[in-house]
Amino acid sequence: MDSQLHSPDQTKNGRTADLAEKRNEKNGNDADALIHSSDPLHPANHISDLCRRFYTLGWVTGTGGGVSIRSGDHIYLAPSGVQKEMMQPTDMFVMDYNTKQYLRRPADVEEEPPADGQAGLQPDPEHPSSRSVFSIKEIEQIKGISRGGSGSSEIAEGGRKVGNLGYYDTMRIPIIDNTAHEEDLRETLEKAIEEWPETCAVLVRRHGVYVWGKDVAQAKTQAESLDYLFQLAVEMHKMGLKWVS
């Protein structure tokens, strides 16, 4: 992308690039090597591709939304505040999984790292940090949701994945309250995950949903399944149908 389209101040861009280069040299490695690869499934390439696809679904419009992928000891993160459908591998942040320090930052000063870590809803006294829980059952698409958060690749008789919910199971997604700043969600988000180890997602009221999986394919499948289930739940509510009978 022409840097003038993002920032007409070439002098500022030059200073920013110099600062980024100095940071990279300080880390003692060629940081840009972390995000350059011809492999389409390399995390930097994969995240860019997924964000373009998610944009067509209306998931990451208005610079919202984000994707991160862990690869070994590296975590690749899409930046905040950028047009996700136009994102490139060079826009990626790379973090060391063990130290939680950034190994690479994009040169653009306007790009920020993603911040660390939502009808029929009833308070759940056994899970105090999450005031409510979304529950639904006897819907075909819950078969795409894993048990125990990460699920299993083992196939049972009849073709059902052992680690996935069945038609008669109840899917439960904890809900936490939103905060003014996304980074302030971290404590309640972590507590909800600890209290609901079987969940693969957390809803944030008036904000959105965090979804994860043991790999990219599972996380994507569960995000798509949840999107369908949430939309279905809204239509059922309009018709006066119960999510759990």
Q: Of 59, 201, 78, which Cα lies nearest the Cα of 130?
A: 201
Residues with Cβ within 8 Å of residue 81, at least 6 apart in sequence? 63, 110, 111, 112
Please list, in sequence order, all residues whose beta carbon lies within 8 angstroms of the beta carbon of residue 211, skipping any fewer than 6 positions away: 200, 201, 219, 222, 223, 226
Rounded distance, CA 241 to CA 208, Å?
A: 23
- Specify which residues 202 forms β-bridges with: 210
Q: Report the interhelical angle of 216-238 vs 43-56 (nearest 10°).
A: 20
Catalytic residues: 140
Q: How far apart are CA 182 and CA 147, in angstroms?
A: 27
